[in-house]
Chains A and B, each alone.
Chain A
Amino acid sequence: MDTKPYIQDSAAGEFFSRLAEGKFQTTRCRACGETHYPPRVLCPRCLGEDLEWVDLPREGTLLAFTWQEAAIRCIKPDVLGLVELEGVGNIFTRIDAPYESLRIGQRVSFSPWTSPDGLALHQFRPVD
């Protein structure tokens, strides 16, 4: 069964291949300086096409978290969360900690994660 993720544009393909190389990055517009998340193939702010890949912050704030009952690619009950990255926005990610141990507002940091079907993704875990 093919469980490849849906790739909506070439920026998404690039984002996940960079992640596989350990790079946690998104696009920034060279013309207007806007940082996009998710990454774009063009800049929605100035409509420019001259974009560069820049590092995303590797630490953020846990805004919310839950787990999903059923999913492809992840193992039940996988903890998911929304992490606020300063100056970028909210990133939907896996949280590498038991649900019961988490609290809203705590600091979390990036770490790479490979899903059971071999996809390189990101996750965040609480900063001690």
Chain B
Amino acid sequence: MNEVYIAGVSMADVGWHELDAHELGARVCVEALRDARLLPRDIEGIASTPHGYMAESRKFASQRMADYLGITADFMMDVDSGGNSSTAAVHAAYERVRAGRIRSCLVFAAQREVPKKVIQQDVFSYFHLIMSANSLYDSYQAAYGVISPLPFYAMAVQRYMHECGVEPEDVARVAVLLREHALRHPQAAYKEPITLEKVLSSPQVSPPIHRLESSEMHDGAAAVVLVSGEMLRESERAARVASVAESHDPTSFHPYRGEISRFPCVERAAEAALAESGYRVGDVDVAEVYGAFAGLELMMYEELGFFARGEAPAAVKEGRTTHGGEVLLNPSGGRLSLGHPAYVTPLLEITEVVRQLRGEAGERQRPGASIGLVHTEQGFINGSVVMVLDRQAP
């Protein structure tokens, strides 16, 4: 088996974009190739995702990009598994490079949504998009008019708070901390600091979730280049992929059996990825975690094994998850404050961890970070992908 490295990363600013998703994608692909010191003719595989959930989505993103950049590929894949899509694409590419089928692969995602405000101003014209959002859920959920996963997540947070004695301030504090992290990130969607009072007084979107504890869908684009050792041009900037593992529960949004505040797929994926990497969770210096809501962020920290059940709120309060703490969690600002183009998010997470391992994270840098973890999920955390990366040159 070959070692696999991430040689190039690139991301567009998170926010709202005017460019077409294809052009946004092309620009980050080219930047990631420059970062890897490679040209399209050096690339042997390409993978991508759809351009959005509500977007008037075109298909075949990989093929269009292969045409646009002139990539002859022995591996091509477009993945649509919600928030896991681009990590699932990276996982597939990783296995191909590891097995020696290809020596390099470009994975990118570009998301352009019809902005929520535009839809709200002209519901009639965009009604088909609202109905398509509704049809993401099965018949027994969709019948109640659901057009966002918010009610499901709200009930999970309610159960978590109930079961673990978590207070509203504990949840709000995560949102404040992630905003502080994002203020160190020049490409984050959010630029204004927030306070505990501001979070708790923001409207409830689905109780107990407040507006400022909820991630908003944004536009964005990012690309990563995976290579085998022989295609690595600058080994001192290499981030090695130590392992990738994924696990999926037999559920789609709310489970019809079992607990709604536990996410076994996260625990299984994290345990498998850590075991394969040879590291323990306590070895991780920096991690990007897919927490789409502040309460879920706490639950993910626990399911990943950073803290025992019910102990993440105290860890956040004591500064153990921020700069100077025992592990730096979501230095990018996370989904809440970096912004959340869901198809792109996993590549934003990988980009942040690679920058941290290279020592190129600027004001967000954790000094000496050498082991990183990336976690993503799909649906109502029905499935998870976990990657472990380290700084280990060939």
**Which of B31-39, B48-56, B59-67, B145-153 participates in binding chain A?**
B145-153
Q: Which residue of A lies closest to B159 (CB)?
A: A64
B123-163 near A? 1/0 per residue, CB < 8 Å:
01001001100110111111111111011001110110010
State whether B147 touches A6 (Cβ < 8 A).
no
Q: Which residue of A lies closest to B132 (CB)?
A: A6
Once the chains are docked, how many angstroms separate the CA of A71 from the CA of B138?
15
State whether B155 touches A66 (Cβ < 8 A).
yes
Partner of A66, one of B137, B147, B154, B256: B154
Q: Which of B227-277 contact A (CB under 8 A)?
A: 254-257, 260
| Interface residue? B207 (CB, 8 A) | yes
Once the chains are docked, how many angstroms separate the CA of A81 from the CA of B146?
12
What count of chain B residues pass the 8 Å CB interface test?
36
A69 and B205 in contact, given A5-B139, A119-B143 (Cβ under 8 angstroms) = yes
State whether A68 touches B206 (Cβ < 8 A).
yes
Once the chains are docked, how many angstroms separate the CA of A19 from the CA of B289?
42
Partner of A92, one of B130, B154, B162, B254: B254
Q: Which residue of B lies closest to A1 (CB)?
A: B127
Partner of A90, one of B205, B209, B254: B254
Once the chains are docked, how many angstroms separate the CA of A6 from the CA of B146?
11
Residues in B whose Cβ lies below 8 Å from that of A115: 145
Categorize the interface residue count of chain A. Answer: 35 or more
Q: Which residue of B lies closest to A99 (CB)?
A: B207
A1-26 near B? 1/0 per residue, CB < 8 Å:
11101111100100110000000000
| Interface residue? A98 (CB, 8 A) | no
Once the chains are docked, how many angstroms separate the CA of A119 from the CA of B142?
12
State whether A6 touches B135 (Cβ < 8 A).
yes
Q: Which residue of A lies closest to B163 (CB)?
A: A104
| Interface residue? A127 (CB, 8 A) | no
| B53 CB → nearest A CB, Å | 15
A92 and B140 in contact, given A71-B146, A99-B207 (Cβ under 8 angstroms) = yes
State whether B140 touches A73 (Cβ < 8 A).
no
| B169 CB → nearest A CB, Å | 19
Residues in A whose Cβ lies below 8 Å from that of B140: 12, 15, 38, 91-92
A7 and B139 in contact, given A67-B207, A68-B151, A80-B144 (Cβ under 8 angstroms) = yes
Q: Which residue of A lies closest to B257 (CB)?
A: A89
| Interface residue? A121 (CB, 8 A) | yes
State whether A64 touches B146 (Cβ < 8 A).
no
Q: Which of A62-108 contact B (CB under 8 A)?
A: 63-74, 78, 80-82, 89-94, 99, 104
Once the chains are docked, how many angstroms separate the CA of A57 from the CA of B206?
28
A71 and B135 in contact, given A66-B154, A66-B206, A90-B260 (Cβ under 8 angstroms) = no
Once the chains are docked, how many angstroms separate the CA of A104 from the CA of B138?
25
| B209 CB → nearest A CB, Å | 8
State whether A5 touches B124 (Cβ < 8 A).
no
Q: A104-B159, A121-B143 are in contact. List 8 more A-B contacts (CB 8 A).
A: A12-B139, A71-B145, A73-B143, A78-B145, A82-B254, A90-B256, A91-B256, A119-B143
Using a CB–CB cutoff of 8 Å, the interface residues on chain B facing chain A are 124, 127, 130-131, 134-135, 137-148, 150-151, 154-156, 158-159, 162, 205-209, 254-257, 260
Using a CB–CB cutoff of 8 Å, the interface residues on chain A facing chain B are 1-3, 5-9, 12, 15-16, 37-38, 63-74, 78, 80-82, 89-94, 99, 104, 115, 119, 121
